[in-house]
Chains A and B, each alone.
Chain A
Amino acid sequence: MLEMATRQVARAGLPLMNIVRMKGVPILQQLEIEERLLRTSSNNWCIINDGTDKPSIVMGISGKPAELVEIRPVVEDKVPVIRRFTGGGTVVVDHGTIFVSFICNKDDVAGVQPYPRPIMSWSSLLYSHVFQGVADFRLRENDYVFGLRKFGGNAQSITKNRWIHHTSFLWDYEARNMSYLKLPKRTPEYRLARDHLDFICPMKDYLSRPDFIAKTIDAAGSLFSVESTEFEAVKPSSNMEFAPTSRLLTIKELEAACKTSI
Chain B
Amino acid sequence: MASRIWASKAASYLKISTFNRGFASVVKDLKYAESHEWVKVSGNSATIGITDHAQDHLGDVVYVELPEIGTAVTQGSGFGAVESVKATSDINSPVSGKVVEVNEELTSSPGLVNGSPYENGWIIKVEISDTNEVSSLMDSEQYSKFCEEEDNH
Interface residues of A (CB under 8 A from B): 60-62, 85-89, 111, 113, 115-117, 119-120, 142, 154-160, 186
Residues on B with beta carbons closer than 8 Å to the beta carbon of A86? 86-88
Chain B, 66-125, CB within 8 A of any chain A CB? 76, 78, 81, 83-90, 92
Residues on A with beta carbons closer than 8 Å to the beta carbon of B150? 113
Are A158's CB and B87's CB within 8 A? yes
Are B58's CB and A115's CB within 8 A? yes
- B128 to chain A: closest CB distance in Å? 20
Are A61's CB and B65's CB within 8 A? yes
Given contacts A113-B57, A159-B78, A160-B78, contact A120 B63 (CB under 8 A): no
The prevalent SS among residues of A at the interface is loop
Who on chain B is nearest to A155 by CB?
B86
CA distance A62 to B63 in the complex (A): 7
Are B62's CB and A62's CB within 8 A? yes
Residues on B with beta carbons closer than 8 Å to the beta carbon of A159? 78, 90
The 8 A CB mask of B28-63 against A (1 = contact, 0 = none) is 000000010000000000000000000001110011
Residues on A with beta carbons closer than 8 Å to the beta carbon of B57? 113, 115, 117
Who on chain B is nearest to A115 by CB?
B57
CA distance A111 to B150 in the complex (A): 10
15 contacts between A and B (CB under 8 A): A60-B83, A62-B62, A86-B86, A87-B84, A87-B86, A88-B86, A115-B58, A115-B87, A116-B85, A117-B59, A120-B86, A142-B86, A157-B89, A158-B89, A159-B90
Given contacts A87-B83, A89-B86, contact A61 B63 (CB under 8 A): yes
Interface residues of B (CB under 8 A from A): 35, 57-59, 62-63, 65, 76, 78, 81, 83-90, 92, 150-151, 153
CA distance A126 to B77 in the complex (A): 31
Are A158's CB and B59's CB within 8 A? no
CA distance A62 to B59 in the complex (A): 16
Who on chain B is nearest to A86 by CB?
B88
Residues on B with beta carbons closer than 8 Å to the beta carbon of A160? 35, 76, 78, 90, 92
Residues on B with beta carbons closer than 8 Å to the beta carbon of A116? 58-59, 84-87, 89
CA distance A192 to B65 in the complex (A): 30
Residues on B with beta carbons closer than 8 Å to the beta carbon of A113? 57, 150-151, 153
Are B86's CB and A60's CB within 8 A? yes
Who on chain A is nearest to B77 by CB?
A160
Are B88's CB and A87's CB within 8 A? yes
Are A186's CB and B62's CB within 8 A? yes
Residues on A with beta carbons closer than 8 Å to the beta carbon of B35? 160
Are A87's CB and B90's CB within 8 A? no
Given contacts A61-B65, A113-B150, A160-B35, contact A87 B87 (CB under 8 A): yes
Residues on B with beta carbons closer than 8 Å to the beta carbon of A158? 87-90
Q: Max chain A CB contacts within 10 Å: which of B65, B86, B88, B150?
A: B86
Given contacts A61-B65, A115-B58, contact A142 B85 (CB under 8 A): yes
CA distance A155 to B58 in the complex (A): 14
CA distance A93 to B84 in the complex (A): 23
Are B90's CB and A155's CB within 8 A? no
Given contacts A61-B63, A113-B57, contact A154 B78 (CB under 8 A): no
Known: A116-B84, A160-B90. 20 other contacts (CB 8 A): A61-B81, A61-B83, A62-B63, A62-B65, A62-B83, A86-B87, A87-B85, A87-B88, A88-B86, A115-B89, A116-B58, A116-B86, A116-B87, A116-B89, A117-B57, A155-B87, A157-B89, A158-B87, A158-B90, A160-B76
